[in-house]
Amino acid sequence: MECHNCESRQRQFYCHNCIRAHLRDFRLQIQHVAADRDEQVRKAIAAIDAISESRIRRAEISSSQERLDELNEGLAKLRRENDKSDQTTSSSLTRKLATRRRTVSQAKLLPPAPLDPMITREAAQLNTRSETIARARSGLVSELMEVFNIVEVGGRPPIGGKAGTKGEWTIGDLVLPVPGDIRRYPPDHINAVITHTLHFIGLLTFYLGIRLPFEITWTGGKLGVGQPWIRSIKGTESGSWAKWTSKHCLHVSASSPAPVADAPAPLVQSTSDSYIETRQPPNPSSSFTTAYAMLLYNVCYLAHTQAVEVPLSQAGDVLSNLWAVCCSAELGRRSHQTYPLLPPPTPPTFPLDFAQLLQATAATPTSRPRPARPRTTGTHKNRNQIPEEDEWDLLDDADEGSPSLT
């Protein structure tokens, strides 16, 4: 409405009922629009949530890419620094190496400088003590040879262009035959001479300080008491002997045929064959053959430690090889216990292979025909006559729990 005085349009006034009607209409309009607004807000929130996940993933990818770029840049920088440092180090090492070579060349041209008097004196004392120990060992070994009376009987030296013949070696007046002749002797003789030989080897290795590849044990717990058994100690693969850890008996009895000479050749074709026999029912012949081969291998290694090389063809001459050991010029100079020290048995310089020795022992023929012994009458008997027995057997590997000799 217009003011009659100022002719200006003024605010319109409503009555209470009109205002109420207007408010009702306005609320209705607001309610209709609020429903549409809530629907739009819900749709907008859902769209924003989907967009947020995608944006977060893109942000993470972007952040990872930035981190990767930083790492690549740092890696390239480190490579450049390392290359530079390597070049510097290589140049420095090359210069040092050239300097050392020049120094060595100049040192070779100079006369040798005198040694420190103290070092010279200590070395001289050490050599003197080594010589003294070697002489003491030689004396003990000489006495040991006299006690056991290891000698060669029979035989003939070369005369008038004729070749000589070898005699039989005895220990304690008992003949120790080569493997092919063992069947010609009675079991009591073989057991006695093997016991003497084992006793002699035990004392000899004790005097010389030598550790043998195969150790001897006795069922009685002491040296010479009971029956001897033999097996390998811990060692390396050199010589193919260390795998023979099962015990084999060096004792025979008189109930079945003898093994060594009449055994089918070869009794043992390889190391693995004889190793498997310990898992199967024991074969007395093969067991004694293996045990005797172990004894031969011990003697050959003992000779090697004293600078006496025994070829495979002579490995069966046990007493002859022991005599050569006792007469060696290097006797007592090398040991496992004193200076100079020996490597553990057996070093690569020891050429004898146990598998080859075992095959040779199993298939060794008799060395030579035994001469006929004169018959005696009455109570007088030839002292050297040995009765021949064809029937005797060998003990099997029954006693695995026998104590070792220490």
- Calculate helix-pair angle for 318-326, 284-305, nearest 10 degrees: 20
Evaluate if residue 236 carries a pLDDT over 90.
no
Give residue 2's pLDDT band: very low, low, confident or very high (50, 70, 90): low
Q: What is the mean pLDDT of residues 115-126?
A: 79
pLDDT of residue 136: 93
Evaluate if residue 161 carries a pLDDT over 60.
yes
pLDDT of residue 252: 87
**Distance from C-alpha of 376 to C-alpha of 230, rounded to nearest angstrom:** 39
Give residue 405's pLDDT band: very low, low, confident or very high (50, 70, 90): very low
| 261 CB neighbour count, 10 Å cutoff | 18
More confident residue, 15 or 319: 319
Name the nearest CA neighbour of 197 among 90, 294, 93: 294
More confident residue, 49 or 266: 49
pLDDT of residue 283: 52
pLDDT of residue 11: 64
Give residue 143's pLDDT band: very low, low, confident or very high (50, 70, 90): very high
More confident residue, 276 or 65: 65
Question: What amino acid occupies position 308?
Answer: V
167 near 154, Cβ under 8 Å? yes
Give per-residue pLDDT as tens, 97-106. 999 988 888 8
What b/e sequence results for 91-102 when a residue is b if at least 16 CB atoms lie within 10 Å of its CB, and e otherwise? eeeeeeeeeeee
Give residue 376's pLDDT band: very low, low, confident or very high (50, 70, 90): very low
Give per-residue pLDDT as tens, 168-189. 899 999 999 988 888 889 999 9
237 near 217, Cβ under 8 Å? no
Mean pLDDT of the chain: 78
Evaluate if residue 146 carries a pLDDT over 50.
yes
pLDDT of residue 255: 57
Give per-residue pLDDT as tens, 19-42. 888 888 888 888 878 888 888 888
Give per-residue pLDDT as tens, 39-64. 888 888 888 877 877 888 888 899 99
Q: What is the mean pLDDT of residues 297-308?
A: 95
Q: What is the mean pLDDT of residues 129-157?
A: 89
- Spell out the residues 6+ positions from residue 266 whose beta carbon is closer than 8 angstroms to its own: 359, 362, 363
* pTM for this prediction: 0.58
Q: What is the mean pLDDT of residues 200-209?
A: 94
Evaluate if residue 277 carries a pLDDT over 60.
no
Give per-residue pLDDT as tens, 312-352. 999 999 999 999 999 999 999 889 888 778 888 999 889 99
Evaluate if residue 113 carries a pLDDT over 70.
no
Question: What amino acid occupies position 6?
Answer: C
205 near 286, Cβ under 8 Å? no
More confident residue, 294 or 120: 294
